[in-house]
Amino acid sequence: MTVAPQLLTDPFLQLPTANSVRVVWFTEFAGTQHTVAYGGNLQQTAKATTTKLSRIREDQKSRVGKQTQDGQVYQQPTKRDIWRHEAEVTELTPGVRVNYRVSSTTEDGATVSSDVFTLTAKPEPGTPLKILLTSDHQLKPMTAANLQKVVETVGRVDAVWFAGDLVNVSDRASEWFDDNRGNALFPGLQGHAQYEMQHDGVKVTYTGGQIIQHAPMYSCIGNHEVMGRFGRKNSLNDEFDDTFPRAVAQKLYSGKSLIDNSFNTITYEEILSLPESKSGGKRYYAVSFGNVRLIVLYITNMWRTPKLDEKYTGRYREAEKDLNNPENWGYGQIIYEPIAKGSTQYNWLAAELNSPEFQQAKYKVVMFHHPPHTLGDNIVPAYTDPVQISDRNQEGKVTSVRYKYPKNADYIIRDVVPLLEAANVQLVFYGHSHLWNRFVSPGGMHFLETSNVGNTYGAAWGERKREVPTNYQEKYVDIGDPNGLEPVMPSIAPILGEDGKPMPYIASNNITVFSIFDTSTGKVSSYLFDTRKPDSEVIKFDEFRL
């Protein structure tokens, strides 16, 4: 029995210009022809360019096809053949929506087509827009419900800003396309998710929302977009956990591929078409969209366990068993792209903040992954390069390798934030801690973290303290924002804690949150939905104006 060909994803929109937009989709066959039909009667045609993803694989941790946690189809990382198709639709008029449909023809001559969706050029200044602010989907339990409620509540959005951590392991194909639990990245953002949630015996299946078929997505790199040393480990999870400093790799692996022996964002960059900067490529960039100038930075580091147990390679020390084998060290929470004053990215940012495009924009927004201000756990220790300290005994043998992170050297707080304040940036948007909270600086700059789709790590507030090491070189803050701002209480309907008092955050595995930036009013509105009550209303609980 021959299985009819299928598209692996619906088409989605990328890189709009004043008169064009890219249409991207994926298949599991190379095919002979891939086209976009568009226009009033779909009579115009654009041919696609096809490339094959080079790093995408499955492994024993994949949940794809019939593979479950128990039944293994893949025993180790195994290449999966996936092709990407991209066509540029031209001669568009800003503000005018055009129908389109994609078609792919197999080597056997069978053609499969998508449904009909709409596209348009990049909006001109003055165009009223609704922009979805989201992050940290990572196949989390409430993602499909979250995205479904976005569409049900505000209708079609005009763009998606995604503050990093799209999936968990970037090189695992099924996390992007077809994880069999029903909540992979593309299905959620395209209304094809099939994720079942159950409360009090009531089962509800959420499908996500048909969003990126009609609206371009701009994203930044989170720590989960970064893969480690290639092919050294038995699973893709281990490979993801094995990022290695470039400077050390140059010494240990002289003459070998630096990318393969340190860290990379190859799959992320192959999957997405994004604006590019001369110095940073897709990794950091700026784009004008309607009345907004959006600056996207590459600010993320390696997440390592805060445990001080000598068995673990953690953020504060190396495992005792590996003290004589530096190739197995983690080197602390390494920063992937320098952002300190004087670095290439910092200098690019300073130049962009002085550009006419930025200075003339009505709304000035900066997006990156790592939080400058949060009640979450992932902000500790300071965002700075780990300072290595080796302890030796009288015979000169290494007895411990430790790392400190000087608070006064936090690159985000010391170098980036003052630059943004001086340039009158109105909003800094980020993720990483899997919660909703927001802050306002004394100068009036807004900070928003709205990444609550499940697997929250809680908030350091009230009696709940974040995990910090005691009796260590640096004193870390276990309650509140380590960088000194008080969280802003939601302005409309804050959630009440167990003590009956309103809470300045939402960190829940039952209540999901999304935020919408409306450029016609300058308002950023945050909404919540309680997945335990599937028939309940979506509630707008916070709003502020830029």
Q: Which two tokens stand for residue 464?
A: 């709940």
Give the closest residue to 127 by CA, choosing from 428, 352, 363.
Answer: 363
User: Contact at 8 Å (CB) between 377 and 370?
Assistant: no
Give the integer Cα–Cα distance in Å for 304 and 330. Answer: 8
What's residue 473's pLDDT? 77
User: Contact at 8 Å (CB) between 121 and 288?
Assistant: no
Which three-class secondary structure string do you get for 32-84? CEEEEEECCCCCEEEECEEEECCCCEECCCCCCCCCCCCCCCCCCCEECCCEE
Q: Which residue has the tokens 């974040």?
A: 466
Measure the N-to-C terminal CA separation of the chain; round to a whole number of Å: 59
pTM for the structure as a whole: 0.97
Residue 263 to residues 64, 235, 275, Cα–Cα distance (Å): 25, 16, 22
Give the integer Cα–Cα distance in Å for 92 and 20. Answer: 6
Q: What is the pLDDT of residues 132-152, one digit of tens each?
A: 999 999 999 999 999 999 999
Q: Which two tokens stand for residue 177?
A: 């396309």
Give the integer Cα–Cα distance in Å for 374 and 448. Answer: 9
User: Contact at 8 Å (CB) between 359 and 293?
Assistant: no
SS3 state at 238: helix
Q: What is the dihedral of CA 224, 226, 229, 235, to 10 degrees?
A: 30
Q: Which two tokens stand for residue 59?
A: 């492994």
CATH architecture of 1-121: Sandwich (2.60)
Show contacts of 489-494: CB within 8 Å, 24+ apart.
490/526, 490/541, 490/542, 491/542, 491/543, 491/544, 492/540, 492/541, 492/542, 492/543, 493/539, 493/540, 493/541, 493/542, 494/541, 494/542
DSSP string, 473-541: SS----SS-TTSPPPPPPSS-PPB-TTS-B-S-B--SSEEEEEEEETTTTEEEEEEEETTSTTSPPEEE
Regions of the chain where pLDDT drops below 50:
none
SS3 state at 327: helix
Q: What is the pLDDT of residues 18-47, one digit of tens each?
A: 999 999 999 999 999 999 999 989 999 999
User: Contact at 8 Å (CB) between 298 and 368?
Assistant: yes
Give the closest residue to 398 by CA, choosing from 330, 325, 333.
Answer: 325
Give the closest residue to 275 by CA, choosing from 357, 191, 185, 214.
Answer: 357
Domain extents in the chain: 1-121, 130-226+265-545, 228-264
The CATH code of domain 130-226+265-545 reads 3.60.21.10
What's residue 396's pLDDT? 87
